[in-house]
Structure 1
Amino acid sequence: MSTNIDPLSVEEEEGEEEEGEEEEQQEKRRGAAGAWNRESPVPVKVLRGHGDTVTTARLCFSDRRLLSCSSDRTAILWDVESCRPLRVFDGVHGKTISECALIPNSNRMVTVSWDKKMVAWDLETGQTLWKWRQGGLLTSCSASSDGCLLVCAADPQNGVYISDAASGQRLHHVSDHHRSTITRCRFDPQSQRVATVSADRSIRLWDLLVQKTTVSIDSNHGNVVSDCCFTNNGHFLCTASWDKTLKLWDLEAGGFRSHGGTLLQRGHEGSVSCCSFSADANLLVSGSYDRTVALWDMSSLCQTLQLKGHSDWVTDVSVSADRKLVASASKDGTVRLWDIDNMEEIPEVMEKRRTEGSGIHILKCEECGKPFPVSRLQTSELLTQCVFCRLRSPSRYRPQPPPLM
């Protein structure tokens, strides 16, 4: 007899099964790839196709498709509805594919690998469009929102390469950008800046217009900064760290210069490996070495739900545009699709919202006049407007010259 300790867990219960029964169960799981497992309040689908750690899982094409890549040196384009692989991309990379990214306004993706190669693929035909070998093993990549540029991070040079997306031709090389390995590189939504985070615990913003580092932040994270993500308007940046925390940075107000970032409270029990905002920035999703996926309400900066089911580290997360689906990749070799459409009806979520007041202040927004909750640790710049008014505000970003040396 087994006991389901956590009501949100969808892990298979351990028990003594005959060998034939075990094979039958495995066959059922393979055959029902497109069916939701509804044993939990959060229905889940499991995508099995990779033979090793899945390093990336990204919903794309109006959330009808999903891109994944793996240490097994392949990438897969999945159909979300059926959870079947539509195309497998292999035979090019010789080592772990560390990340893949869809190139906007196109039917192409780019993959980067520890084999030092950056490769562009045609998603429809599976053919390679171009290949470029860079100066080091590649740890991350990102495409600009206009589909014109690509950036990838290289180790041990601790630098980034910015390339033309159409040809792969190198346009800029920023060497020794950090003091240690760059774990993630991201274009801001306006395609004006590249954000990088690193094992050296710092955050840097490199401006494409002036071709200089215009912002350098000591994150005060207690360990490696493993990931970062922008809100859609570029005002906020979230960082994830191996110190088990996430921080929110208001790049528009600039208060981080004196107050630092805003800590998201009561989070993971293990190192945080990844983070991703929803399109409206009301939801943040994070993944951790504790094998869980966490959902955060950005109006209160508090965690509302943990998703359990992966049997190893969660390496990447993605959220659909309508906030109904969350995708997660794991070292366990699977991708999981979580249906969070009815999350607010889960008793555990309702109870959390009811009891969350201990770490929250209620303030009045100076813009719309409505009350809004904020963490006690939020900086003064974040206390004047609710998150919705801040996100609606026009960008006041202007490139700043680098400090004189």
Structure 2
Amino acid sequence: MSDEEDIDPLALEVAEEISENLSSKSGTWENENLAQVKYKVLRGHREAINSCQFCSNDSLILTGSSDQTTAVWDVETGEKLQKYEGHRDVISQCHMNSDATNFASGSWDKTVNYWDTETGKDIGSLEGIVTCCQLSHSGKFAAVGSDLENALTIWDTSEGKIIHKMQNHHKSTPTSLTFSPNDDRICTTSMDGCTKMWDLHSHKVTVQFSGHINVVSSCCFDKEERNLCTGSWDKHMKVWDVSCGTFRTQGPLTLSKGHEGCISSCVFSDDGSMLASGSYDTTVVVWDMETFAPKLTLKGHEDWVTDVEFSKDSKTVLSCSKDKTLRVWNVSDSDSIPVVLESKRSMGLRIVKCKECRKPFSISQLEDATVQHMCVFCRLQASRNVPSFREEALMEMPG
């Protein structure tokens, strides 16, 4: 690299490799001078980490790795608290229930295991070459995608029985799946370039999305179940309005110019103000959902970013990579970073202070700051007692 090459003010220096025995250092926040984004690096897996999830009120992290193990980490100290062994091949995905008592893990060894975190023992399995798996928010169901017959399988976790199996659900291998916030729909993506919505009540596909020109690798709902985002190897993400259905006539909103490589994963923040995406270009991009533009580019991973996650308070981004590491990024003060403020100004946005929390936020130069006086966080907080779109519709129904 030449001395004259432009320096990305958000770029992070790659931390020096350390052994698993020195993992206590990973509990310390690090900060590259120009980045102004604090981060932690967690090390302990021997191979690529393919799945990561905040759990137990963001105090713990669950990971699944190509080293055939899953692990639970302490966010504060960065230490690995528990390792679970039992799979005989790469673990493609793992997912914990809301009370952090059980989790499911899917593997290339053609099994899905359902684990009790107290005993660490396998209490159930399901045959199939597993490419993705997730528990419902209630923990009652596990959904599994497999490249055997391109199937979607629904499993009752309490009884350990298959209750639905849709063979040839896609024309090619399923790549990801997610339950809707209300647990009444399952969205699946595939290497066939298609995204499908399967209804758990009618037991059929109700919506099919087409628009990407390559493999669709990831999908996520926002908390209000208004929008669905899909990420693709075509380097783009598309946001589909599934609440009002405007995508049927207007098409989806396309998010581009954030990554130079294929997108591997995407996730909305809990408050809906941001979207994070991971890519094979080794970066994590945080998107501003007010402007639908990249807000931060987080650099530091040395290989493909395989999964991303937001903490419930939307202040932290978690990422994992083929470089065998986890990174915990503190983005709580991202709106105050000079490069972010300058980027918003260049887009024709004004920066004003929220009258509630006193933090800066952006509005259009044509907007009146006396009218738009609260940031999206405070507006969401104030509107929590306002009925949602679905609740309003239910209240209007007769009887």
Q: TM-score, normalised by structure 2?
A: 0.85
Alignment of 1:4-403 (within 5 A): 5-12=7-14, 30-39=23-32, 40-90=35-85, 92-133=86-127, 136-218=128-210, 220-357=211-348, 393-395=388-390
- Secondary structure of the structure 2 residue equivalent to 1:213: strand
Contact 1:235 1:395 in 2 (8 A): no
1:175-213 CA-partner distances (Å, limit 9, x unpaired): 111111110111111111110011111111111111111
CA distance, structure 2, for counterparts of residue 351 and residue 148 of structure 1:
47
CA contact (8 A) 1:265 1:301 kept: no
Q: Distance in 1 between matches of 2:366 and 2:88?
A: 56
Give the direction of change, closer, same or farther, for the CA distance of 1:371–1:244 in structure 2 (3 Å limit): farther
| Deviation digits for residues 112-139 of structure 1 (CA, Å, limit 9, x no counterpart) | 1111111111112212222222xx3101
The answer (yes or no) to whether the contact 1:11–1:310 under 8 Å persists in 2 is: no
Q: Give the secondary structure class of the aligned counterpart of 1:234.
A: coil
Q: 1:258 Cα shift? A: 2.5
Inter-partner Cα distance in structure 2 for 1:212 and 1:305: 39
Moved more, 243-252 or 255-264: 255-264
* Equivalent-residue separation in structure 1 for 2:203 and 2:338 (angstroms): 51
CA 1:191–1:31 in 2, change beyond 3 Å: closer, same or farther? closer
- For 1:156 and 1:348, the matched residues in 2 are separated by 47
Instruction: Tell me by how many angstroms 1:41 deviates.
Output: 1.0
Verify the 8 A CA contact 2:11 2:299 in the aligned structure 1.
yes
Instruction: Verify the 8 A CA contact 1:150 1:165 in the aligned structure 2.
Output: yes
Unaligned runs of 5+ in 1: 14-21, 373-385, 399-405
Compared with structure 1, are the counterparts of its residues 75 and 27 closer, same or farther at alpha carbon in structure 2 (3 Å cutoff)? closer
Cα distance between partner residues in 2 of 1:246 and 1:292: 15
Instruction: Give 1:33 deviation, angstroms.
Output: 1.9
Q: 1:347 to 1:361 in 2, by over 3 A?
A: closer
| Kept in 1: contact 2:24–2:77 (CA 8 A) | no
Give 1:156 deviation, angstroms. 3.4
Q: Residue deviations 1:339-376, cap 9 Å, x none? A: 11121121111111111239x996999xxx8699xxxx
Give the SS at the match of 1:395: helix
Tell me: CA distance 1:6–1:155, structure 2 relative to 1, closer, same or farther (3 Å). Answer: same
SS in 1 for 2:347: helix
Distance in structure 1 (CA, Å) of the matches to 2:306 and 2:68: 16
1:396 Cα deviation from its structure 2 partner? 7.2
Using the TM superposition, give the Cα deviation of residue 233 of structure 1 relative to its aligned residue in structure 2, in angstroms.
Answer: 1.9
- Pick closer, same or farther for the CA change 1:357–1:322 going to 2, 3 Å: same
Q: Secondary structure at the match of 1:33?
A: helix
Asked whether the equivalents of residues 24 and 79 of structure 2 are also in contact (C-alpha less than 8 Å), the reply is no
Amino acid at match of 2:139: G
Distance across 2 between alignment mates of 1:72 and 1:27: 14
Cα distance in structure 1, aligned partners of 2:87 and 2:177: 21
Contact kept, 8 Å, 1:247 with 1:261, in 2: the verdict is: yes
Higher mean C-alpha displacement, 1-10 vs 153-162:
1-10
Q: Which letter maps to 1:300? A: T
CA separation of 1:34/1:11 partners in 2, compared to 1, >3 Å: closer, same or farther? same
Is the contact made by 2:186 and 2:198 (CA closer than 8 Å) also made in structure 1? yes
TM-score by length of 1: 0.84
Find the aligned partners of 1:262 and 1:239 in 2 and give their Cα distance: 11
Check 1:260–1:29 CA distance in 2 against 1; reply closer, same or farther (3 A cut): farther
Is 304-313 or 226-235 further displaced after alignment? Answer: 226-235
Between the aligned partners of 2:153 and 2:174, the Cα distance in structure 1 is 12
Mapped contact 2:23–2:79 kept (Cα < 8 A): no
Query: Number of paired residues?
Result: 368
- Structure 2, unmatched stretches of 5+, are 350-361, 375-379, 394-399
Q: Please tell me the residue identity of whatever aligns with 1:290.
A: D
**Cα RMSD for the two superposed structures:** 3.0
Report the secondary structure of 1:38's partner residue: coil
1: CA distance, partners of 2:237 / 2:289: 12
> Is the 1:276–1:284 Cα contact (8 Å) retained in structure 2?
yes
| SS class of match (2:390) | coil
Q: What percent of counterpart residues are identical?
A: 40
Q: Do 1:364 and 1:371's aligned partners in 2 also have CA atoms closer than 8 Å?
A: no
